[in-house]
Structure 1
Amino acid sequence: MDAPESTRTPTPSRWHIPTLLVIALLVHGWIIANTEVAARDSIGFIRYAMQFDQPPPDPADPNRQLTRLEIIRRAEHPPGYPLMVWLMSIPVRAIAGGPTPENMVLATQLVSALAGILLILPMYRLVQRMFDSTAAFRAVAIFQCLPVPAEITSDGLSDGLYLLAVVSALAFAAGSFREQSSAPLLGAGICTGLAYLVRPEGVLLMAAIGGMLIAAVFLRQITWKLWIRRMVLLGIGAASIALPYIALIGKLTNKATGSVLVRTLQGEDARPTWHMDTPTSFRDTITKQPIAAWWTQGFDNSEGRILWAVQVLIGETSKSAHYVPFALGVIGIVVLLPRWRRDPVMLMPLILGGLNAALLIFMGSRIGYISERHTLWLATLMVIFAAGYLPTFAQWLTRWPTSPRSFTAMGYAQTLTILILISGIPGWIKPLHANRKAHHIAGHWLAANTDPHSERIFDPFCWADYYAGRVFQEGWIRLDDSTPLYVIVEPKNLTPHSRLPALDQAKDMIRSGKPVFHWPENVPLEQSRVAIYRVVPVQRPGTASR
């Protein structure tokens, strides 16, 4: 049986990890300190996390509070990220003074940033086992400084925590192969289960790691007997974490996209998620609107939808990987083909990338949208192969006719790395979601000028409602449809999904309302970024009170 190419993991330079930690702390610390609002999806995670602390009344029996297990069973999202937000919020609230909107946003960001910083360790080890310590340092440094990954892993989103679990699982699996030991596969399985508890597509790790082991069998690097032993360890680790949640909810996932996938596999058609019928509840109206690229050319054009999904996936991934690393990564995958065809460790992340891309294309063509945050692993993959290919590319540059003779391949590689790092600074140095400042201000106006016990808020965008503190009162204050309603709109239609049903509802509502606030206040109402209308009363069929 042939031995793997390398059974020894090189020792990292002593300054690599400390330097990477300093870079990560500076980038994530800066972004958190310069955040205007968190991503809108963070509001749903905060709502979920706060229910762990103060379970809401049972809608069927208001005199009884839901248990935490019931909250998890009913929730659309897996509990991994909201649970970590709740745990992080405990010290944040103790230090900063209670569950304010700003404090809970900080808790979501700290969880993501901590995951983004801890990502340094498994990502370094993974790339080190694929290439070498220098490539590992370059890959991690570049990834930490790319604008989109830096923002996503500093925002109130689950993607940073998910990526930490994914890369940790791959690093354990790579270590098992390089060190010729089965024990790390148990760790890979546990991390796979943890990834699933954050995002259901974590189950793809089983296929990626299993594919690596099958490739090793066909390359005569391990036996089928050893493959079975390692797959059993992987499965035990994953099942120990994932099965309790699956048993609790009675299926693989509660997420709407998962239901779309199941219905599609059963031969049913799926409509884009943003194209909803009248929502069944007020909360559904304001929480199920994705910020992403979406298909709008009709539901029956299946070929067009697939082509659109492929184009958007490439575009979003190239943007997430900041273009130059994306191009270098694609070239690197092609140029390094002879190497990864005989090295299962290098093949493993490519299998996961292929599965992830196929899932995104399939789901994008079925439900009509793809977001750049969904491409985070693909961007990571491009950065890894860009770092691995960079020495070869630098060597090619030295042979260029106009290349200075004094410039070595190492000099080119270092210069390119520094230029990529510098190019990312303008992206992540700007305030996070600064274009949503108007909604933040509107929320504070609502908090100061409305009464949650007698007045409702209809906010299709969610931010003003959140910063008014209404999320913390849901389930505890019940109002009927005769109470005054404050409706938030963007007069200039700045939000790119103006065709969504909730926004159309808001526009219909304000026809019978009176404007009471707009921002900026020194411009005419029609020129403002956000306006608030007071409507009394309004009847909205199919909606519930808040």
Structure 2
Amino acid sequence: MIRYNMQPVSLSSGAVAEVGGRLEMTAVRPLLKGKDYAALAVLLLIAIAVHLWLIHHTAVPARDSLGYARIALNLSDPQAGWQGAERRSRIEVIRTAEQPPGYPLVIWCVEKTLRGVSGGSLAERALQAAQYANGVAAVLCVIPLYLLGRMLFGFWVAAVGTLLFQVLPVPAHVTSDGVSEGLYLLFMSIALAAGVWGVRRPTVGRFLISGGAIGAAYLVRPEGVLLVLPLSLIILGTWRGRPLAYRLGWVAALTVGVAAFGLPYMLLIGKLTNKPTGKHLTNPFDDQLPPIWRGQPLSQGLGRHHGVCLWAEWWNPQQNDQSRRSLWAMQAVGKEMLKSLHYAVALLALLGVACQYRRLQWGEPGTLLLLAVASLYLGLLVYLAMRIGYVSERHTLLVTGLGCLFAATSLPALGRWLSIAPAIRHLVIWPHLMPTGLASMLVVTALPQTLQPLHAHREGHKHAGLWLAGQLHDQDWLVDPFCWAEWYAGRTLYRTTEYRGRPQRTWVVVEEGKVSPHSRLPQWEQAQELARHGQAVYQWPPQADADQPRVVVYRVDDARLVQRILAGGPR
């Protein structure tokens, strides 16, 4: 097979050979060979093993998973829990939901699949479906991330970089939890792989694929649409020798792909996003501070619980009141990136970027695109921290994936330096195996933390909820700042609770013993006050000592006391 090529040809060394206007016949060589398929098979098996282990060793999923699962259950049955006069459609559920529909739709499909094989309650099955949806997407992410590394850096770097991303603790934990990051990363990695393929050998079809993946990522997390900006700039800037009409056509193909998936949702909701933080991020000139900057939790009021991320850097008005927002934001993003890249890999990623100076000097478009994307999203994280007052490890995973690839590129150079370093060169027996040995050390040192069960210290909330499911009456109130017990008790499967009137009995869920502080949780202080006036009726673990972490359920029978505390705060 031959191809008539009238464009620059990317060489494996990173150099670009100008073909000019003459016809060149080049053999079409497949990107993947036999060893690539073997590496992909091994990487997929490792990813499956890691995610299955973590999913089946999860005490309770993250609180954010409750919101996603609730939307999925409303999509499954729009009338369940609905209190309106008219029938509600699935389109109305999507229009009013606070999260984009991509991930809840996948959860709904997975939950339908689990109905015939899972013996748990609906509450358990929905959260299990959220974890499986996230985990399967994270496993599939192996393929585009490997292709991305293979196109730019070769076989070894692609395999090691992809392996690191699957076994580092933060990426493995987040993509095994009940949150949307696995699906988001799958679409973003497809968009990047197709985008790199396109900027190196541009065609309309490749940019359509990249745009379509960006649109799908936007339906999972709204910030995915920002990938259009660096990709468009690379297209327009890299191929300046080509007619402007060609470059504009490629950008148009990218835009059409994005619009095909994302525009219907934008038109349905009439704005970029329904997320509660969206109005603060999309209006930088709004001087009204979000609740966290005022020292308040994200949401307040009885029953109006929204997920609060478990892994994050929070602004503390009492401790940080003398600090500038921008300085705190950069420090917070730096801390989260270090944790997400497991510290040593973060340093190797910076070294890997430095090792690409020749590619950058030559203007290799694929490498430029990755660095532009990483810079853009790091800037977005700093802006998020400045505007909202928190930044989470979850938000760093796209940059973490790219960092793993760059870290892998540094290992051969580091191995060569260690092989000739005067102090240790005599200890190196096989210099050519040094890069593989360094990669193995990174994996081995990460695995013990990676394979730790998720949220093991929160297991009592699930047991408390299942116990409460058999105790609650219709006129009872349940005060649960953590949200898990009320979910497992069946109270918040389709909507959050809003209690009116006077309770028959009130049940309160608190954590006692050596537990982490919960100043960000709505109703945490009220729950503590109610517990002091109530009677302990259940705890998990049953035999926990007074100083051991445990979940305790209290019952309060004084309805007036409950109303007074919940209305006016603790006395």
Identify the residue that residue 385 of structure 2 maps to in structure 1.
364
CA displacement, residues 501-526 of structure 1 (integer Å, 9 cap, x when unaligned) = 42112123234322222233324557
Partners of 2:184 and 2:217 within 8 A in 1? yes
- 1:331 and 2:331 aligned: no
Residue in 2 aligned with 1:253?
Answer: 273
2:150 to 119, 128, 137: 128
Q: CA deviation at 1:362?
A: 1.2
Asked if 1:24 corresponds to 2:44, the answer is no
Q: CA deviation at 1:384?
A: 0.9
Q: Specify every segment of 5 or more residues in structure 2 that has no aligned partner in the other structure, as ranges.
A: 1-5, 13-28
1:488 is the counterpart of 2:493: no
Instruction: Give the conservation status (yes or no) of the 8 Å contact 2:303–2:496.
Output: no
Looking at CA atoms only, which structure, 1 or 2, has the larger radius of gyration? 2
Classify the secondary structure of the residue corresponding to 1:530. strand
CA separation in 2, counterparts of 1:350 and 1:278?
Answer: 33
| Corresponding letter in the other structure for 1:315 | K
Report how far residue 217 of structure 1 moved.
Answer: 3.0
SS of aligned partner of 1:346:
helix
Q: What is the match of residue 308 of structure 2?
A: 289
Contact 2:72 2:104 survives alignment (8 Å): yes
Alpha-carbon distance in 1 for matches of 2:107, 2:322: 39
Q: CA-atom RMSD, angstroms?
A: 2.7
Q: TM-score, normalised by structure 2?
A: 0.88
Deviation at 1:542, TM superposition (A): 6.6
Most deviating of 318-327 and 98-107: 98-107
C-alpha distance in 1, partners of 2:85/2:290? 38
Find the partner of 1:470 among 486, 491, 495.
Answer: 491
Q: TM-score, normalised by structure 1?
A: 0.91
Aligned residues: 538
In the alignment, is residue 454 of structure 1 matched against residue 475 of structure 2?
Answer: yes
The percentage of aligned residue pairs carrying the same residue is 35
SS of aligned partner of 1:62? coil
Distance verdict in 2 for CA 1:461–1:315, change over 3 Å: same
Give the equivalent residue in structure 1 for 2:108. Answer: 86
1-structure distance, mates of 2:465, 2:74: 22
In 2 relative to 1, CA 528–325 (structure 1 residues): closer, same or farther, beyond 3 Å?
Answer: closer
Q: Which residue of 1 aligns with 2:256?
A: 236
Report deviation, 1:5: 2.9
Can you list the C-alpha shifts for 1:100-157, whole angstroms capped at 9, x where unaligned?
Answer: 2222121111111110111011001111111112111111111111111111111111
CA drift of 1:193 comes to 0.4
Equivalent pair of 1:28/1:150 in contact (CA under 8 Å): yes
Task: Point out where structure 1 has 5 or more consecutive residues left out of the alignment.
Answer: none
Alpha-carbon shift at residue 64 of structure 1 (Å): 2.8
Deviations 1:311-369 (A, max 9, x none): 12111111111112111001111232331341111111221111111111111122111
What code does the residue aligned with 2:203 have? S
Q: Secondary structure at the match of 2:518?
A: coil
Indicate the SS of the match to 2:11. Answer: coil
Distance 2:525 2:92 in 1: 34
Contact 1:39 1:156 in 2 (8 A): yes
Greater shift, 44-53 or 458-467, is seen at 458-467
Match of 1:353 in 2: 374
Amino acid at match of 1:195: A
The 5-angstrom pairing of residues 144-163 of structure 1 reads 144-163=166-185
1:353/1:378 contact within 8 Å kept:
yes
Task: Tell whether the 8 Å contact from 2:149 to 2:158 is kept in structure 1 after alignment.
Answer: yes
- Counterpart-to-counterpart distance in 1, 2:281 and 2:298: 22
CA deviations on 1:248-270 (whole Å, 9 max, x unpaired) are 11000111221111343345444
Matches within 5 A, 1:1-400: 3-6=8-11, 10-12=31-33, 13=35, 14-56=37-79, 62-97=84-119, 100-218=122-240, 220=241, 222-272=242-292, 275-276=295-296, 281-284=301-304, 286-291=305-310, 292-297=312-317, 304-341=324-361, 342-400=363-421
Alignment of 1:531 onto 2:555: no
Residues 273 and 24 of structure 1: is their aligned pair in 2 closer, same or farther, counting only changes over 3 Å?
farther
Deviation, structure 1 residue 297: 2.6
Structure 1 letter corresponding to 2:10: E
SS of structure 2 residue aligned to 1:37: coil
